[in-house]
């Protein structure tokens, strides 16, 4: 009976830590839809929109390991409470900041907050015996917060001004502070200062970076350009279709992540990671051949599953849990940031399909290396 209580408690902690991030991030999620459409009305130069929306990602590249270090030294719960408080402040700030400097400041603060909350949610999930299903449920809950923001945010805007809209989202975010108080403090191995340096990527982390670069960077940024080149859409139809498939990606993360986690618990993280990674490549190949819609569906579907099991596959047990999770998410952030930046430079490139053909070369090469490495691990575990 006591073991059952512990198992249920670990899953409750997984849900609570994920819900804290989901609620803390509603302002950020809605800002991606709000800022590009309203930058001129709030006096923000168009040039700065992309910088402001991406600076939090670049912040995480440099601070993930330091945030993990502080989590290991000062406790997950304590840092979580600080992080959700900062998240509420930044959400409220989106309603009234006007200068570029203040925009950059609050976005950097949000990047720090997100880094702490993401690491926190993964560590709590990895305490559960069935790590795959816990990571999947955690990812599903987190993405539900983004969908909620994109549903209620436009409704708020239709009735209220910018300041009231983000004030209401800030009040919703404040619930993350309350639920974070329910989290217990757990013991985790302390990171040393030598762990602050980003480790050379394993084949799995390299594959995570490449998948993220192509799917969450190039494909998302270039999707509207691909659709415009292949279909005779009007401007309104193009916007609606692009939004539909981006929403589909979010839905995949909500629906497929728990299923991928269940598969990982049953067949192993590396097997599921490799299998889903193979179908991500299939999706990109379909995009490269001009079957964009089918390719996007395949890439987003299996990309969601691949992303949800990657942290579990990255854990080797040879180092600090926070160190390994931190390295995994940092390589993911590098891929996303570099892919988004590269995609922006290629928006006017006429031969986009060539870009996706070329991306297949490193993706396939890395998958073959990852397959061999995971096969060796399986053999060595079987011998031992």
- The DSSP annotation for 192-210 comes to PGGGGSPPPPPHHHHHHHH
Place of tokens 């001009």: 290
Report pLDDT for 236.
67
Map out the domains of the chain as residue ranges. Answer: 2-184+191-196, 203-376
| Matching fold, domains 2-184+191-196 and 203-376 | yes
Q: Which two tokens stand for residue 77?
A: 């719960």
Report pLDDT for 134.
86
Report pLDDT for 29.
84
For domain 2-184+191-196, give the CATH superfamily: MFS general substrate transporter like domains (1.20.1250.20)
Report the alpha-carbon distance of residue 344 to residue 290 in Å, rounded.
Answer: 20
Report pLDDT for 4.
37
Report pLDDT for 364.
93
Report the alpha-carbon distance of residue 58 to residue 81 in Å, rounded.
Answer: 23
Residues in Cβ contact with 375 at an 8 Å cutoff, skipping those fewer than 6 apart: none
Phi, psi of 180 (to 5 degrees): -65, -25
CATH (residue range 203-376): 1.20.1250.20
Q: Of 307, 210, 329, whose CA–CA distance to 249 is shortest?
A: 307
The residue ranges of the chain whose pLDDT is under 70 are: 1-10, 37, 191-196, 235-236, 239, 243, 316-319, 376-384
Place of tokens 């982390």: 205
Report pLDDT for 6.
45
Q: Of 183, 215, 136, whose CA–CA distance to 12 is shortest?
A: 183
Q: Which helix (H) or strand (E) holds 91?
A: helix 76-93
Report the alpha-carbon distance of residue 249 to residue 253 in Å, rounded.
Answer: 6
Residues in Cβ contact with 84 at an 8 Å cutoff, skipping those fewer than 6 apart: 20, 23, 24, 113, 117, 173, 176, 177, 180
Report pLDDT for 379.
43
Report the alpha-carbon distance of residue 192 to residue 315 in Å, rounded.
Answer: 18
**Ordered DSSP codes for 229-260:** HHS---HHHHHHHHHHHHHHHHHHHHHHHHHH
Report pLDDT for 328.
84
Give this prediction's pTM. Answer: 0.79
Report the alpha-carbon distance of residue 335 to residue 162 in Å, rounded.
Answer: 32
What is the DSSP-derived secondary structure letter of residue 182? T
């Amino acid at each position: 009976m006591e073991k059952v209580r512990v198992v249920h408690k670990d899953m409750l902690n997984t849900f609570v830590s994920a819900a804290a991030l989901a609620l803390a991030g509603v302002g950020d999620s809605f800002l991606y839809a709000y800022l590009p459409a309203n930058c001129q009305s709030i006096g923000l130069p168009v040039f700065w929109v992309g910088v402001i929306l991406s600076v939090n990602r670049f912040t995480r590249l440099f601070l993930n390991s330091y945030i993990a270090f502080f989590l290991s030294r000062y406790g997950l719960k304590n840092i979580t409470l600080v992080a959700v408080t900062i998240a509420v402040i930044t959400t409220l700030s989106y309603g009234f900041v006007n200068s570029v400097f203040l925009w950059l400041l609050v976005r950097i603060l949000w990047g720090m907050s997100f880094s702490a909350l993401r690491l926190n949610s993964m560590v709590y999930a990895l305490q559960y015996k069935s790590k795959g299903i816990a990571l999947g449920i955690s990812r599903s809950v987190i993405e539900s917060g983004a969908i909620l923001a994109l549903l209620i945010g436009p409704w708020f805007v239709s009735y209220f001004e910018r300041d009231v809209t983000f004030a209401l989202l800030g009040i919703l975010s404040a619930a993350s502070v309350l639920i974070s108080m329910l989290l217990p403090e757990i013991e985790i191995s302390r990171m040393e200062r030598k762990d602050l340096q980003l480790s050379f990527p394993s084949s799995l982390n390299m594959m995570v970076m490449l998948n993220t670069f192509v799917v969450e960077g190039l494909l998302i940024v270039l999707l509207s350009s691909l659709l415009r080149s292949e279909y005779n859409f009007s401007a309104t139809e193009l916007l609606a279709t692009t939004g539909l498939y981006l929403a589909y990606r979010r839905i995949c993360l909500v629906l497929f992540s728990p299923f991928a986690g269940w598969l990982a618990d049953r067949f192993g993280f590396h097997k599921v990671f490799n299998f889903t990674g193979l179908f991500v490549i299939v999706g990109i190949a379909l995009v490269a051949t001009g079957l964009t819609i089918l390719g996007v569906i395949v890439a987003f579907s299996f990309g969601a599953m691949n992303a949800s099991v990657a942290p579990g596959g990255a854990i080797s047990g040879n180092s600090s849990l926070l160190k390994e999770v931190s390295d995994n998410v940092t390589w993911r952030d590098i891929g996303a940031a570099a892919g988004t930046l590269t995609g922006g430079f290629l928006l006017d490139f006429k031969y986009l399909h060539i870009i996706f053909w070329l991306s297949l070369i490193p993706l396939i090469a890395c998958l073959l290396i990852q397959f061999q490495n995971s096969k060796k691990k399986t053999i060595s575990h079987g011998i031992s």
